[in-house]
Structure 1
Amino acid sequence: MAQHFLLSKKYRDISEYELSRFTENDWFDYFRNIRFGGLDKSICPRCGAIDAHYFFKAQKRWRCKHCHRYFSIKSGTVWADSKLPLSKIAFIVEKFCSAANGISALRVSANANVQYKTAWVALHKLRESIIRTNQLSKLKGEVHVDGGHFGGKPRSGQFRHKAKPEEIAAKIKLGKSQGARRSRGTRANYERKKKNRRIVMVAREVVPGLGGTKTAVFLSSTENDKAAKYIADNFIESGSLVRTDENSAYSSYSARFTHETVEHSKEYSTIDGVNNNQAESYFSRLRRCEYGVTHQMQARYMWDYANEMAWREDSRWKTAKEKFDDLLFRTLSTGLTRWWRGYWQGYRRRDEMLIA
């Protein structure tokens, strides 16, 4: 039996233990290599000049030879104005990359010895970097599209109904749990939770033998034809093989693509092998994040979490160092954060990223 990639020596090309032995000067050179592509020259974030700018070793700052502005390794990045040392930034990035289903701000706060507020904003800066550096071309070939409910799960009622003997027998016959159903929750509870419920829609390009290799995610209020049309118009190449479930929102796909469907109320896959399992695979990871890591997702930031899981899905075949370098480069090349500067002072993103 072939060994899983995550268990292989190839994956473990860098570790938290090795990174913990780096000094602050080592991290300074590491960040320079990632951001500027070497130690000889640097790029002024103000005027964009590439040169061997004047370097002040004691301050670890440069002065541009062209516009005469001072800048540091963090200037013009999502880490600008942050007081975190480079070693802690690298530690947070490594923790983020090594977690299969995401990591909570509370865990990062404890492990990195920073305030919860600092950890919360740092993790969201990583998610923003992923979103703003995504350069998705149109999906082609075989594409799996689906939508799933996230957030706003109403609680069950207080009491358990006593199961009837015939109901237990029927469950045993189907191989299901014998537990009795709980009573329904209150209407007020249902309406309160429903306000935070959204549909995460996903489109994944599938390569035989590798699974999903390119993932695009969207946030919608419902799984409707308007949202499905937006995905088809902007993210799927004409003539592709598109596989969905039986939802009527995708009925227009037959006119534009080779459209195959699977009726999930009856089966996971048809007898001919038609399925949209790669979309379901993505939802599985996102649900594990929602239930086991974050425990809830605000509708305002649900798209951020959805993009994080898309990045994790698409980079699952990368080694630990490749993921670490990729995410670190994204944070250093995104520019100033648009959504998380002054978050705890009230400067917050007010709108959701809904497509329909």
Structure 2
Amino acid sequence: MSQHFLLSKKVRDFSLIKLLNWSDDDYFNFLKHIKFKGEESTVCPECGAIKPPRFLKTRKQWRCRDCDRSFSLFSGTVLANSKLTLRKIVLAMYLYSSETKGISMSQLSRDIDVSYKTAFTLLHKFKEAITQTEDLTPLKGHVQIDGGHFGGKPRSGQFRRIGRPEDIVAKIKLGKSQGAKRSRISRANLERKKRNRRIIINLRQLGPKGTGAVRTICRVAMAEDEKHVMSLIRRFVEPGTYIETDESSAYLQCSLGYKHETVQHSTEYSTIDGVNNNQAESFFSRIRRWEYGVSHRMEAKYMQDYANEFAWRENTRRYTQLEKLRCLADKVLSSGLSRWWCGYWQGIKRDDEMLWKA
């Protein structure tokens, strides 16, 4: 049996110890190489002048010879006007990219010695950069699609429900997650559940046999119905693609323009011919581990940000640690100005959630 990628020596090509031993110039040169793709010449982000600008060594900035504007590594990106040192920013990128199930804001604030508010906006700016630079070219070849319910978890009642013997026996026979009836929830909890619950629909393109999924696109919708599903498929899946789904009625029209096969999850996990939806379902396991063990809740307003983050984590799961760090740094340095997290704690917040409109 082959060794898991995360246990191999290849993935350990860069460590936190090496990063901590870097000098300030090393952090600067690392980001500079990614920002300008290894080229010596830089283009002014203000006027677009190609003439080599003057480098201000003490300030780690450049000054354009044409418009006389100064610019830095983060000018025009989500981290523009950041007061953090390059050391803390690169350390935050490393910790964010190295965690397979995400990192909490409070943990990051302790790790790099910043306030919780700073860690909160920094991590969300990483998510925004991932969203801004998302690859939205249509999926092709072999695609699996599934939807998962997130948010709106009802709170338990005041009194513990005493299980009946017959319910316990049924639960033992059918598995611990099936068979026994669930306790009732109050009307207020039920309304909160309806108000805050959303559906994350993920579309995953599979690679060669044994490699799993190679690309993931996620969108948040109010329902997993035919209208939302088909609009997503027409936008993000090439015609003629082979699609695998479960038996939900939302996927009935997938046969129009696509080769479509289903697996009956009510009776089987995979058909005799090998038709399954395992890769689409496995995406939800990672994000649920983050929800239960790291975040402990998922707000509907920012659910698309979380979905995009974990789609990126799935897409880069076979990257080495240095490749992940470079990938995240490239997204941050090539993104536009932050629209959602600049001035967040001063009251400048996103008005609406990012919902897929069918």
The TM-score, its normalising length taken from structure 2, stands at 0.95
SS at match of 1:189: helix
Q: Which residue of 2 aligns with 1:195?
A: 195
* 1:223–1:336 distance in 2 versus 1, CA, 3 Å: same
In the TM superposition, what is the alpha-carbon distance from 1:254 to its structure 2 partner?
A: 1.3
Change (3 A) 1:117 1:57: same
In 2, distance between residues paired with 1:243 and 1:182? Answer: 31
Q: Shift of the alpha carbon at 1:28?
A: 1.2
2: CA distance, partners of 1:254 / 1:180: 37
**Aligned-partner residue type, residue 193 of structure 1:** K
How far residue 180 of structure 1 moved from its aligned partner, in angstroms, is 7.3
Asked whether the 8 Å contact 1:140–1:205 carries over to 2, the reply is yes
Q: 5+ unaligned residues in a row in structure 1: which ranges?
A: none
Tell me if structure 2 keeps the 8 A contact 1:133–1:330: yes
Give CA deviations for 1:17-59 in whole Å, capped at 9, x if unaligned: 1001112121111111110123632221112233431111112
**Cross-structure match for 1:275:** 276
1:159–1:182 Cα contact (<8 Å) kept? no
Figure out how many residues of one structure are paired with residues of the other and give that number.
Answer: 356
C-alpha offsets along residues 194-245 of structure 1, whole Å, 9 cap, x if unaligned? 3111000010001221111011101100111111111121111111111111
- Letter of the 1:353 partner, please give it: M
Q: 1:28 to 1:149 in 2, by over 3 A?
A: same
For residues 62-99 of structure 1, the C-alpha deviation after alignment (integer angstroms, 9 at most, x for no partner) is 11122221112221121111100000000110000011
Is the Cα–Cα contact under 8 Å of residues 167 and 181 in structure 2 kept in the other structure? no
The TM-score, its normalising length taken from structure 1, stands at: 0.95
Q: Matches of residues 199-218 of structure 1 in structure 2 within 5 Å?
A: 199-207=199-207, 208-218=209-219
Residues 151-300 of structure 1: matches in 2 within 5 Å?
151-176=151-176, 183-207=183-207, 208-300=209-301
Counterpart CA distance in 2 for 1:286 and 1:122 is 20
1:76 match: 76
Bigger Cα displacement from structure 2, 344-353 vs 258-267: 258-267
Aligned-residue Cα RMSD (Å) equals 1.8
Q: Does 1:97 align with 2:100?
A: no
Q: Distance in 2 between matches of 1:10 and 1:231?
A: 36
Q: Which moved more, 1:189-198 or 1:158-167?
A: 158-167
Within a 5 Å distance, the mapping from 1:6-25 to structure 2 comes to: 6-25=6-25
Equivalent residue for 2:26?
26
Asked if 1 retains the 8 angstrom alpha-carbon contact of 2:125 and 2:341, the reply is yes
Give secondary structure in 1 for the equivalent of 2:68.
coil
Judge conservation of contact 1:100–1:312 (CA < 8 Å) in 2: yes
2:61 aligned partner: 61
How far residue 178 of structure 1 moved from its aligned partner, in angstroms, is: 11
Name the % identity.
54
Match of residue 35 from structure 2: 35
- 1:281-334 Cα distance to aligned partner (Å, 9 max, x none): 111111111111111111111000000000000101111001100110110111
SS at match of 2:40: coil
Task: Give the AA of the match of 1:200.
Answer: I
Superposed displacement of residue 170, structure 1: 3.2
2: CA distance between counterparts of 1:281 and 1:227?
21
Question: Residues of 1 paired with 2:76 and 2:304: CA distance?
Answer: 24
Give the conservation status (yes or no) of the 8 Å contact 1:213–1:314.
yes
Q: Unaligned 5+ residue runs, structure 2?
A: none
CA contact (8 A) 1:146 1:202 kept: yes
Of 155-164 and 287-296, deviating more is 155-164
Conserved 8 A contact 2:167-2:179: no
User: Which is further off, 272-281 or 163-172?
Assistant: 163-172
Q: Which moved more, 1:25-34 or 1:185-194?
A: 185-194
Q: Is the counterpart of residue 321 in structure 1 residue 322 in structure 2?
A: yes
CA contact 1:168–1:178 (8 Å) conserved in 2 = no
Amino acid at match of 1:282: F
Contact 1:158 1:183 in 2 (8 A): no
Question: Displacement of 1:250 after TM fit?
Answer: 1.1
Matched, 1:332 2:328: no
Letter in 2 for 1:245: D
Task: Give 3-state SS (helix, strand or coil) of 1:42's partner.
Answer: coil
Aligned equivalents of 1:143, 1:58: Cα separation in 2: 52
How far off its partner does 1:175 sit? 4.6
Per-residue deviation at 1:141?
Answer: 1.2
CA distances 1:126-156 after superposition (whole Å, capped 9, x unpaired): 1111111112221111110111100111123
> What is the alpha-carbon distance in structure 2 between the residues aligned to residue 109 and residue 129 of structure 1?
20
| Alpha-carbon distance in 2 for matches of 1:292, 1:47 | 47
Task: Please say if residues 161 and 181 of structure 1, whose CA atoms lie closer than 8 Å, have aligned partners that are also in contact.
Answer: no
Q: Aligned equivalents of 2:141 and 2:115: distance in 1? A: 46
CA–CA distance in structure 1, aligned partners of residues 180 and 142 of structure 2: 42
